[in-house]
Structure 1
């Protein structure tokens, strides 16, 4: 039986069924997987503690579902295509049979090095095949993986290792990302100097650089692989056993370890992948996210492999060796489904159309966007120039904590509306509430986005601190999961995400989402990207401060540019939303996943630059000094 929805009527039918009988709905979907023991009960939950359990007493191993069950019918099918950073280096392809073998061998290496079921393993690696193998190898033997983006500072890594009490670190000698060369192993050595729980470091040879190898602690993966065979029995896991911990930045500065579990995450990542992207058997799918982020976990690895897809993994960046690299890779590998972030799209827009027009892109069928609401100008550019007006753009809304996509169009199935994520997926029950937690039933009204019923892929706890999970997501509104986002439904019930609630500016009693104002600013032809924050204003309560990156072809007169930007905002939203201050900048403080650190911009706008907190996780910390120097 196929669980792929093929029409909007089918979507509406599936959605109704999922609301009327959620347990029956998810049980039906879960039936398609390989379970060692079937569940006794589909769901047990309350949002007060919170305590959520799916497929209770069900036994499984997620890698048997990602790999073993495909071997009979898809053993020779391509599972993973790896495209290196340097286009002159040869790409590598692995069939499902080869991927299964690689995962089993690394799983045996982990076992040989003392890793047991329930142990936490930290992975700090570039986007090389061994990163994918290692994640799945941990899952194979029941170890809890915690991937840390290879670019985080030693301090950030140490915080995460110590919080998880990881016993083993998997890493590489170094990495190449664009023109950058990063001595990854050196960063690990610095981090684990303050991590007493780490007993072993397993190192992949990627660059061939000389590295420090501490006897008794550090081993080379290629040497360890000589000692193991190609079979590894999958550990039988309970549906509610932890699968991974993924750290997300918390409001306190201390990272939060979001915990996802084996059974529910498996069912949800497969179901959302096949439906949102309308994956078909021969498609080549490419998610550009790093596996260090939740998007890479769910939609580069687990979702595609559970579905039996061919998934592409890219080591490099969109602008190396030039801004046509994404499109060159699409043509080279015949990519059919392409999933990336608005921040990447906007940077490629700024580089000019020639880089896109040099490639045919005729293999593309579906485009996706993830990470933040995509502004209208970027949506249209993506749709017209990349998708040639024949590929739907699915603007997916979800979070690290939700495990998978929650609100989105389904490609070629649902109606599309730029700047709107769309309708909730089957099984997802969103509501909007006002400040007192009362449900807003009518449309065209803004409110706080909450979920009133659990879904299989949701967060279970924050590692080692369940109270923090409760306070972060379940304490704001009784009996609801609070997303932290503001949203609005249009007259047809389509959701538009306005942005984080702490990214809402209250100007003279009128609330504006920063995304809404940024969208208006970005309509200006000279603007590449913008970020807007509120700052104290003695008359309005809050003023609007805009940080704006402009094209290289902008007219030199900054005041003229500011006037034009104000006109764009007034035309799009109204005079009340016009920015009070517009600072033209060369860059914005972004994390390596492309997220703008508005906390830093807010401090600059407020003139409180003496305590900016940790900036080591930024892609380019020097940007902050430039912004402070030019502050208005």
Structure 2
């Protein structure tokens, strides 16, 4: 059971931010703010929503028909009006909105809010010229370049629903997502650049659109200038050509608050990725509020979220949230250790980054290479640090706080999910920080740690992390699988169950322990065990497969696969390498097993379900616990 473990909470350690950090912070007094929310939950969210621009006011803030929520009923808006127009037509017109850096010093592009607005409008008009209309789905498969954000915002401008696919995914994963949403257009780049090498993307797209009959056109950003890739005019069109001669103005499509804004896929436990659907109004309000209040974004800040928009963090806190607040955003295609382990610290110094949001995996990698790298650079511009993707272990917290933040920057260790759309638990600026603990629910959220019956567990006792009641940025459904959506709310009646295990201390601080379902968090990315297993079984030599996560000091977890071969195939090192390569080509490099073991059998229940926890316990030298349902 989830609650059958305890955590030692002796000798708690807290860090209190300086008065300078909390002075004039948007978060204000946490206790007061939280009580205001509890006194009038819908009024709390309405006040935030009124800070943004609406074409038409809502009739009612919330309609809650468990487990379905509608927020800001009949309100009309367009998120890009709030990300762009609202700034362009006031004092931020010539403020820098976006700074992009490639892998070399000479690769830099800067957009003011006015310039970004015109680029988005021109691409939006280009999409309309291809027949894209409100409600059509557009798949975006690109590296972190300005055109990726421009394509996302252009879709939102005209009411098309974007689905961004991480540029590290392979043919099968991309095809699966294109077919799932019935994408009309695919926007791609010819290459992504990583560690000085151009990695082809267009060939992956060409293979992925086979057996994807919904695709009418492919828009290709050609980055290779010396030898541009050939385009097939019957299907493909150049990104720049599509924008050329398009008007610099494009009226924003009025969207109902409940109209879908985007579909973003996250790994599922059934082998099929889940298409999380987020709605225009509530998502806008939730990401605006949390970006502003959790990170305390002010007008003179330079904000850098290192996440790729192929993941929810890149959506909420790399694109929409910071642009809604009018921030100056840094985005980059650089990897954290190329050309050396000082590149990110160099960028912070060069661009004067004040708010830095990254993953524990990156922090642990920097810890491993040593303090000498950040000490080469002036990081005094930093004032707020953030962590996302997986729990920030106490050792990584201490290093981040002292070495990078100089013991002066508050750390927002944020817990949330693709499904929640926004931060749910963190330590708001001004509150004492406890290493290893994300913090408390943000004002606007009621979260708890409970047993399997929904009862709150005592401090120090592990349980299931749940959210009680609706919030604006919650997913509305899972694309074409509403039954799977309802399961989030039916595991413990009345609660959204996050499938995470957690523990709460005597002050209400919550520590997230890890997943309780069949997901493996690798370097901050959720990888479904079933997705990797399906990829392995699709190989002609494999009869059955099971995968587990193994703790790793750098990545959090690595993947180990156990494989049963079809009769007639022999386990060899060549076959092992072939299977790993097969997973790479099917799902992409993020999902490849670090270890692969050939076995004769797998532990199963009498009903035939693989007992992965038994495999994991054996691998870790632990007691597997109750195995009464084990077949053999």
CA distance in 1, matches of 2:591, 2:479: 29
Equivalent pair of 1:278/1:410 in contact (CA under 8 Å): no
Question: Any residues of structure 2 matched to 1:53-64 within 5 Å, and which?
Answer: 53-64=70-81
1:429 to 446, 452, 464: 446
Question: Any residues of structure 2 matched to 1:302-341 within 5 Å, and which?
Answer: 302-341=320-359
Partner of 1:624: 594
1:494 and 2:512 correspond: no
- TM-superposed CA distance for 1:90, in Å, is 3.2
Alignment partner of 2:324: what SS?
helix
Alignment partner of 1:132: what SS?
helix
- TM-superposed CA distance for 1:8, in Å, is 7.6
TM-score by length of 2: 0.81
Q: Which runs of 5+ in 1 are unaligned?
A: 505-513, 519-530, 534-544, 551-587, 589-593
- TM-superposed CA distance for 1:415, in Å, is 1.1
1:449 and 2:465 correspond: yes
Alignment partner of 1:482: what SS?
strand
Task: Quickly say closer, same or farther: Cα 1:5–1:257, change in 2 above 3 A.
Answer: farther
Moved more, 361-370 or 207-216: 207-216
Task: Quickly say closer, same or farther: Cα 1:301–1:192, change in 2 above 3 A.
Answer: same
Post-superposition CA distance 1:486-519 (Å, at most 9, x none):
1111011111111111389xxxxxxxxx99xx9x
- TM-superposed CA distance for 1:211, in Å, is 2.6
CA distance in 1, matches of 2:461, 2:83: 42
- TM-superposed CA distance for 1:179, in Å, is 3.1
Partner of 1:235: 253
1:116 and 2:86 correspond: no
Partner of 1:553: none
Task: Quickly say closer, same or farther: Cα 1:494–1:602, change in 2 above 3 A.
Answer: farther
Alignment partner of 1:67: what SS?
helix
Partner of 1:575: none
Equivalent pair of 1:270/1:306 in contact (CA under 8 Å): yes
Task: Quickly say closer, same or farther: Cα 1:17–1:425, change in 2 above 3 A.
Answer: same
Equivalent pair of 2:550/2:558 in contact (CA under 8 Å): no
Count of aligned residue pairs for this structure pair: 541
Alignment partner of 2:386: what SS?
strand
Equivalent pair of 1:46/1:479 in contact (CA under 8 Å): no
Question: Any residues of structure 2 matched to 1:9-408 within 5 Å, and which?
Answer: 10-47=29-66, 50-71=67-88, 72-84=90-102, 86-208=103-225, 209-408=227-426
Equivalent pair of 1:175/1:207 in contact (CA under 8 Å): no
Post-superposition CA distance 1:327-365 (Å, at most 9, x none):
010001000010000011111221222211111111111
Post-superposition CA distance 1:53-77 (Å, at most 9, x none):
0000000000000010111110011
Equivalent pair of 2:415/2:438 in contact (CA under 8 Å): yes
TM-score by length of 1: 0.81
Task: Quickly say closer, same or farther: Cα 1:171–1:382, change in 2 above 3 A.
Answer: same
Q: Which runs of 5+ in 2 are unaligned?
A: 1-22, 530-547, 565-570, 600-618, 621-632
CA distance in 2, matches of 1:360, 1:626: 44
CA distance in 1, matches of 2:229, 2:321: 35
Equivalent pair of 2:288/2:322 in contact (CA under 8 Å): yes
CA distance in 2, matches of 1:288, 1:189: 29
Alignment partner of 1:151: what SS?
coil
Equivalent pair of 2:93/2:113 in contact (CA under 8 Å): yes
Greater RCO (Cα-Cα under 8 Å, separation 6 or more): 2
Post-superposition CA distance 1:164-202 (Å, at most 9, x none):
000000011111022342111111001001211000111
